[in-house]
Copies of this chain bind each other. A is one copy, B any other.
Amino acid sequence: MSRRISDSTVRRLSHYLRALEELEGRHATTVSSDQLAARGGTTAAQVRKDLSHFGSFGKRGLGYSVAELAGRLRRILGVDRHWKVALVGAGRIGSALFEYPDFAARGFRLVAVLDRDPAKVGRVWGPVTISDISELERVVGERDIDLMILAVPGDAAQAIAERAVAAGARGLLNFAPTQLRVADDVPVTNVNLVMEMEALSFALTKDQTAS
């Protein structure tokens, strides 16, 4: 079923869950689709449509139960469990990611860090000791890694992705400016910060008509 759910729908589900968790914090018991829509940057009709993919929620005129819908969205998004995550690349972006508090709060546990730089291998980051990239297969296997974050240069990313998947990693978050080619059943999300900036410069540039 996941094939038919668009990336933008998934993004909105994440927003709805955040809204519900704020409401839980304020001990609210019900919420309307209008309230969820405001948080997701969308309309009440879109909220109802997004949720309808996953069954029946809420009662007409009564809204949704905050606790029930939050629990359901956690299960749908797969964040009612822990995921074991390895980070490849202990550079600036990698070290910022490693200390990013929201990952752990959401169940994404960084249990391994790898780098190719001998000067970094063996360093201790919190509970983790940085491993040499040559150890990738062993680390993925022994620590039962689910997800791999690639914060490596573009020319290294494809080979590391292939090794990671062959070793058992099931999904990849890619910071390298490269389109990774992996099997269709391995989800990949890409974060390319320069492309995000280019989306802004594009939107602000007038020279977009035929020359």
Residues of A that sit less than 8 Å from B by CB? 1-2, 5, 7, 10-11, 13-15, 18, 39-41, 53-56, 72, 75-79, 83, 85, 92-93, 95-97, 99-100, 102-103, 106-108, 146-147, 170-173, 177, 179, 181, 187, 189, 191-205, 207-211
Contacts and interface: CB of A to CB of B under 8 A. Distances in A.
Contacts of A72: 211
Given A14-B192, A146-B204, A187-B199, A179 B39 contact: yes
A29 B36 CA distance: 52
Contact of A83 (B193, B201, B209): B201
Contacts of A75: 205, 207
A56 B211 CA distance: 8
B103 A92 contact: no
Given A10-B198, A78-B207, 17 more contacts: A1-B208, A1-B209, A2-B203, A10-B199, A55-B210, A76-B208, A77-B201, A78-B201, A78-B204, A92-B96, A92-B99, A93-B100, A96-B96, A108-B201, A171-B201, A187-B203, A189-B196
A55 B85 CA distance: 45
Contacts of A11: 195, 199
A18 B2 CA distance: 31
A144 to B, nearest CB: 14
Contact of A177 (B102, B171, B202): B102
Contacts of A93: 96, 100
Contacts of A103: 193-194, 197
For the complex of A and B, list the 3 residue pairs with the smallest distance between their C-beta atoms, beginning with the closest.
A55-B210, A78-B205, A78-B201
Contact of A200 (B40, B55, B96, B189): B189
Contacts of A97: 193
A154 to B, nearest CB: 9
Contact of A209 (B55, B77, B197): B55
